[in-house]
Structure 1
Amino acid sequence: MSTTDTAHDLERPLRADAARNRELILQTARRCFAERGLSVTLNDIAHEAGVGVGTVYRRFADKDALIEALLATKFEAMNAAAARAAQETDPREALRVYLMGVFEFRARDRALADAIVRAGKARPSIVSERDRLERQVATIIERAATAGVVRAGFSYADLPMLTTMVGAVADTTRAQDPDAWRRYAEVVLEGVLPGGTTDPMVGAPLDRAAIERALHGQP
């Protein structure tokens, strides 16, 4: 069965029990991918959800089909975040709100960057949502550039690397301090939007022992 066939199948009305199973699989997959990345298998998801592997495969032909279903919700959330940020009257604050929102998405979701990269090969509706997000964020950045509050040359294309940087901190320090990434996200923001605040840095650095545990992957 092709991904397109699966997409069409998923649009048909489901029996109540089938609908519950599909939502359970999606919720479980969302959590597993967020916590462990896209290396999670459909067998892993079936086990975590407490359903048979066949139940998963009846709803999703393969892992790519499942990821595509989750992509729709990710882009919906990010487009909503961009729309909220665009409502800020201060151009600097609008971009700051959006960037911090994206960093928070990534801090919670290890699979975010990989999933977004896959969007280019997804069905047209998802590609359209990706393109809509790019247009929304480009407008926010253009407002900040016109106001002279963003570093010259900054663009939407910089976001994948910035979210990867902040995500690496979040992944490394999650066991020691799940909010440690915020301190370093603020440093990134000040690099993109210089001169915006004289407030002290958010939070406190990890102590030496915590840093060593984090860098060695210890809890």
Structure 2
Amino acid sequence: MIDKPCRGLRKDAERNRQRVIDAARELFAERGVEATLNDVAHHAGVGVGTVYRRFATKEELLDAVFEDGIDQVVCLAESALKQENSWDGFVWFVEHLCELTAQDRGLREMVYSSAYGGYGVDCARLRLTPPISQLVERAREDGYLRPDAEPTDMPILGMLAGTVSEWAGHVDPELWRRYVALLLDGMRHREDRPPLPVRALCDDQMDAAMRGWHPAG
């Protein structure tokens, strides 16, 4: 008899925690990581104190929301590597990566900036590098991908798709697909293509860019 209220409280607490996470995911997807814990509480329909009891800081909430999201990108890359044709796998990954980053502003900002998130998100982000590098190297070695394409080009493709969606998504939510198709066509290896005018960022430069970009809020 004594245990029943405790169990009920634990269930209520877990429901409230999941309610906050679900609301934060929706809100960050739409508005990006500029949304505050107060905004999340309002969107979830709970008191501000409920959010702060579950997540003492915004970084804790971001970890809970986006660690799985970044893992999803890793899984996409690993699935693309299983495709027999390296170009088909490369295209499949780019299209799905860009779909995620076009539709989820918060995930886009978490993947491309180190301004927010904690250790869990950092570890998940580091897991992106090996499978993405393998995708690029495999398609390049098979002669499908232009030889001056680099793994560090891949995150920028997602960023570009997200920018198109953020700018014109209210007019045509699928417009980003047009520009991803144009970018992919430009990445195919052809003997008559001149070399790209600027080298890709190296890993250190990419890290510096991520550290220097602070999304609004």
Q: Tell me the TM-score normalised to structure 1 length.
A: 0.77
- 1:118 paired with 2:114, answer yes
Equivalent in 99, 102, 105 of residue 104 of structure 1: 99
Q: What amino acid is aligned across from residue 66 of structure 1 in structure 2?
A: L
Equivalent in 87, 90, 93 of residue 95 of structure 1: 90
User: Could you tell me which residue of structure 2 aligns to residue 46 of structure 1?
Assistant: 41
Count of aligned pairs = 181
SS in structure 2 at match of 1:168: helix
1:118 CA drift (Å) = 2.5
Name the CA shift for 1:121/1:109 in 2 (closer, same or farther; >3 Å). Answer: closer
In the TM superposition, what whole-angstrom CA distance separates every residue of 1:3-54 from its partner, at most 9, and x where no partner exists?
Answer: xxxxxxxxxxx92111111111111111111111111111011001000001
Unpaired segments ≥5 residues, structure 2: 1-8, 191-217
Name the CA shift for 1:194/1:112 in 2 (closer, same or farther; >3 Å). Answer: farther
- 1:78 paired with 2:42, answer no
User: Could you tell me which residue of structure 1 aligns to residue 61 of structure 2?
Assistant: 66
Matches of 1:97 and 1:181, distance apart in 2: 15
Unpaired segments ≥5 residues, structure 1: 1-13, 196-219
1:81 CA drift (Å) = 0.9
Q: Which has the higher contact order (CA 8 A, sep 6+)?
A: 2
Matches of 2:116 and 2:164, distance apart in 1: 27
User: Could you tell me which residue of structure 2 aligns to residue 184 of structure 1?
Assistant: 179
C-alpha contact (below 8 Å) 1:119/1:127 kept by paired residues: no
- 1:33 paired with 2:25, answer no
1:119 CA drift (Å) = 8.1
- 1:173 paired with 2:162, answer no
Q: Tell me the TM-score normalised to structure 2 length.
A: 0.77
In the TM superposition, what whole-angstrom CA distance separates every residue of 1:166-216 from its partner, at most 9, and x where no partner exists?
Answer: 111111221121111111111111122356xxxxxxxxxxxxxxxxxxxxx
Q: Percent identity?
A: 36
Q: What amino acid is aligned across from residue 106 of structure 1 in structure 2?
A: T
1:126 CA drift (Å) = 3.7
Q: What amino acid is aligned across from residue 118 of structure 1 in structure 2?
A: S
C-alpha contact (below 8 Å) 1:120/1:127 kept by paired residues: no
User: Could you tell me which residue of structure 2 aligns to residue 164 of structure 1?
Assistant: 159
Matches of 2:73 and 2:165, distance apart in 1: 19
1:140 CA drift (Å) = 1.1
User: Could you tell me which residue of structure 2 aligns to residue 22 of structure 1?
Assistant: 17
Name the CA shift for 1:126/1:44 in 2 (closer, same or farther; >3 Å). Answer: closer
C-alpha contact (below 8 Å) 2:81/2:135 kept by paired residues: yes
Matches of 2:12 and 2:186, distance apart in 1: 51
Q: What amino acid is aligned across from residue 133 of structure 2 in structure 1?
A: A
